[in-house]
Amino acid sequence: MSSQASPSLPTSGKLWDGGNEPFGASYGKLMMWFFLLSDAFTFSALLLAYAALRFSSLSWPVPDDVFAGVPFIHGHFPLVFVGIMTFILIMSSVTMVLAVEAGHRGARNEVVKWMIWTILGGIAFLSCQAWEWTHLHHDGAWWGSNPFANADGTPGQVNFTNLFFTITGFHGFHVFSGVVINIIVTIMTAVGVFDRRGTYETIEKIGLYWHFVDLVWVFVFTFFYLI
Amino acid sequence: MSGEHSSSFDIKGIWMVFWVLFAITAVEFIIALAIPETFMAKPIKNVIYIALTLLKAFYIVAYFMHLKFERINLIYSILLPTIFVIGVIAALMYESDYWFTLR
């Protein structure tokens, strides 16, 4: 894949002396990795603020009591809905790898098929999040207002809802961007851009981004819903 | 340079990683919902959650993002900064303990 970009300069045979690819990856793929690393720093900063504020607080709302709603059903089902959301996102990650795998074989129709499944997974996740936000908003939770009492019975900390909406909102925005880029890339695949280009590496690059979004959710899930 | 890609990208392997991720998440749910805190204290549960999360992160980054099969240079340039960030998070959590005492 990446050997196509290898320059034909004279090389001394040493890895870092030029005329070589020390990272063994194309420019675009390398830059996607570095972008994701910087994006990981941003999310780390948010999770860092969360950890510092939470563990310096005397008490904190209980996640099992806050996140216990499921659409169309009345009752108390802690973690069930967020479990469904986690499953949807992991599934869409799997269909994305399957698209990348099909891209390696140059199977255009298969790439389009798996990309469409990935897009549907992303849209399903965003719909779930929209429902959850609406549900919490109806309970009176929003930036600056927290109706949920702390574990020890004292009035709930505003930090809780502020951090929840900021972090899941920032993640949801990443999912939204991913869905938009996925749609663009799927159209490009369908009209044969990558066949003409001779490589499906673009699918690999957007795949890296999509898995990163899944990865962030794994951390958000642990820190907000479990701990 | 990347001819080994095909061997690490078979469909069977992808589904195996999916089942691993699914199983880890299932274990997290069992710990959260089925095991009472009288039997397993919350701090112990939290340590298990974080360990399982890091394990899930390993599977996603290594296999789905394919980092395990990249050049060692690329692996290190991604992994080392991440380890430093985890160090900062740990330091801040430790620091928040002092803020807690100050309140």
Render each residue's pLDDT in chain B as its tens digit; 103 residues: 344 444 456 889 999 999 999 999 999 999 988 888 888 888 899 899 999 999 999 999 999 999 999 999 999 999 999 999 989 888 888 888 888 888 7
Judge whether A1 lies within some domain.
no
Residue A123 counted as domain residue:
yes
- Rounded to whole angstroms, the Cα distance separating A96 from A53 reads 36
- d(C-alpha A186, C-alpha A114), whole Å: 9
Assess contact for A114 and A95: CB atoms under 8 A: yes
Q: Tell me how many domains chain A contains.
A: 1
Cβ neighbours for B18, distance < 8 A, ≥ 6 positions apart? A90, A91, A94
pLDDT at B8: 55
CB pair distance less than 8 Å for A227 and B49: yes
Which residues in chain A have their CB less than 8 angstroms from residue B74's CB?
Answer: 23-25, 30, 33
| Per-residue model confidence (pLDDT) at position B4 | 44
What phi and psi, each to the nearest 5 degrees, are found at residue A157? -75, 135
pLDDT band at A8; cut points 50, 70, 90:
low
> Residue A24: which of B10, B52, B71 has the nearest Cβ?
B71
- Grade residue A9 by pLDDT with cuts at 50, 70 and 90: low
Q: Spell out which residues of chain A touch residue B10, defining contact as CB-CB under 8 Å.
A: 101
Is A48's CB within 8 Å of B89's CB? yes
Strands (E), A15-152: none
* pLDDT score for A70: 83
- Does A133 reside within a domain? yes
Residues 160-199 of A with CB under 8 A from B: none
Lowest mean pLDDT among A77-86, A104-113, B74-83: A77-86
User: pLDDT by residue (tens digit) across A174-214?
Assistant: 999 999 999 999 999 999 999 999 999 999 999 999 999 99
Average pLDDT, chain A: 90
* % of chain A beyond a pLDDT of 90: 66
Q: What average pLDDT score do residues A111-124 get? A: 97
- CATH number of the CATH domain containing A194: 1.20.120.80
* Domain span holding position A93: 26-226
Question: A84 and chain B: CB distance < 8 Å anywhere?
Answer: no
Q: Does the pLDDT value for residue A5 go beyond 60?
A: no
Closest chain B CA to residue A21: B1
A51 interface with B at CB cutoff 8 Å = yes
pLDDT at A22: 85
Q: Cβ B74–A24 below 8 Å, yes or no?
A: yes
**Are A98 and B14 in contact, with CB atoms under 8 Å apart?**
yes
CA dist., res. A111 & res. A103, Å (int): 6
In a domain, A18, yes or no: no
Q: Return the pLDDT at B6.
A: 44
- Give the pLDDT confidence score for residue A18 in this predicted structure: 77
- Is A226 in contact with B32 (Cβ distance < 8 A)? yes
Residue A127 has a pLDDT of: 96
Confirm if B50 and A222 have CB atoms less than 8 A apart.
yes
Asked whether residue A13 carries a pLDDT value surpassing 80, the answer given is no
Q: What is the pLDDT of residues A27-64, one digit of tens each?
A: 999 999 999 999 999 999 998 899 888 888 888 888 88
- Please name the residue ranges forming H helices in B4-41: 5-8, 11-33
